Amino acid sequence: MTVTISSAENIVDDAEVSLSRLAPLEAVLFDVDGTLCDSDPLHHYAFREMLLEINFNDGVPITEEFFIKNIAGKHNVDIALSLFPDDLQRGLKFTEDKEAMFRRLACEQLKPINGLYKLKKWVEDHGLKRAAVTNAPRANAEVMISLLGLSDFFDAVIVGDECQHAKPHPEPYLKALEVLNVSKDHTFVCEDSVSGIKAGVAAGMPVVGLTTRNPEHLLLEAKPTLLIKDYEDPKLWTALEEFDKQAAAAKPAA
């Protein structure tokens, strides 16, 4: 079903219809940063402090707006090119060192998105396959997934570095479908960034967008099917309840 996107309200109107058309649901695919956990503040802090050390931008700290526009949700190669356009190798070394700092911070401060374990139980109770699909380096992804207690939850972890193209290209999500052996017509995606939402949409799946840190108006431009605050959002559960109603209606009468 085509959803006209001019506001969050327009998305909500048809969200349960757009998701329920996936029945029977086979899988749910999750981004990691900002989707499983509220990690962007840690990334922002690490970038800000390390860029200050090298007098980037004449020693003026990067703002949250700069972080959202140039860094959040992007692959490290693209970040390196943005920050160090004349010296890619320096940029790649910088992002590598920054990721090490992030992992140290994550071990002390990482927190799950509100309602994450409620959705985890729903996915498990419905016997769905699941994969994490991320632009983060594998070392970061595995640390975050482990800290969240989700190492045994995911059937696969797909990393942009290990694909020919990272998000916003659809390849990481298409690879997840292939690895799980599921159809895009019976799978939806959870994402929090513009690049991630674009990747999921380009792969042909409905995307549930989270307004964890990125501005709603930017996320809407990427055309998510549903936009929620977190996994406790009633809009999400209204849409998911449609699957249960369809399953109940499909059962033969006793």
pLDDT digits (tens, 9 = 90+) for 61-80: 999 999 988 998 888 999 99
Q: Supply the pTM of this predicted model.
A: 0.87
Domain boundary among 109, 126, 161: 109
- My answer on whether 90 and 178 are in the same domain is no
Q: Is residue 251 part of a domain?
A: no
Q: Is residue 71 part of a domain?
A: yes
Helix, strand, coil percent content, the chain, rounded in steps of 5: 55, 10, 35
Q: Which amino acid is at 211?
A: T
- My answer on whether 158 and 218 are in the same domain is yes
Domain boundary among 56, 75, 109: 109
pLDDT digits (tens, 9 = 90+) for 207-237: 999 999 889 999 999 999 999 999 999 999 9
Q: Is residue 133 part of a domain?
A: yes
pLDDT of residue 98: 96
Two tokens at 230?
């977190």
- My answer on whether 238 and 152 are in the same domain is yes
Helix axes 76-83, 88-109, angle to 10 degrees: 120
pLDDT of residue 160: 94
| CB 131 within 8 Å of CB 248 | no
Q: Is residue 238 part of a domain?
A: yes
pLDDT of residue 140: 96
Confidence label for 5 from pLDDT (cuts 50, 70 and 90): very low
Average pLDDT, the chain: 91
Query: Which candidate, 114, 89, 179, 103, places its Cα nearest to that of 136?
Result: 103
- My answer on whether 127 and 101 are in the same domain is no
pLDDT of residue 252: 67
Query: Which candidate, 217, 248, 211, 215, places its Cα nearest to that of 233?
Result: 211
Q: Is residue 49 part of a domain?
A: yes
- My answer on whether 84 and 177 are in the same domain is no
- My answer on whether 115 and 104 are in the same domain is no
What is the average pLDDT across 199-206?
A: 98
Print the domain residue range for 149: 23-38+111-244
Tell whether the model's pLDDT for residue 107 goes beyond 80: yes
Domain boundary among 109, 143, 168: 109
The separation between CA 20 and the C-alpha centre of its own chain, rounded to angstroms, equals 21
Total domains present in the chain: 2
- My answer on whether 80 and 31 are in the same domain is no
Query: Which candidate, 28, 85, 46, 31, places its Cα nearest to that of 214?
Result: 31
What is the average pLDDT across 25-33?
A: 97
Tell whether the model's pLDDT for residue 254 goes beyond 70: no
Active site residues: 31, 33
pLDDT of residue 1: 36
- My answer on whether 95 and 121 are in the same domain is no
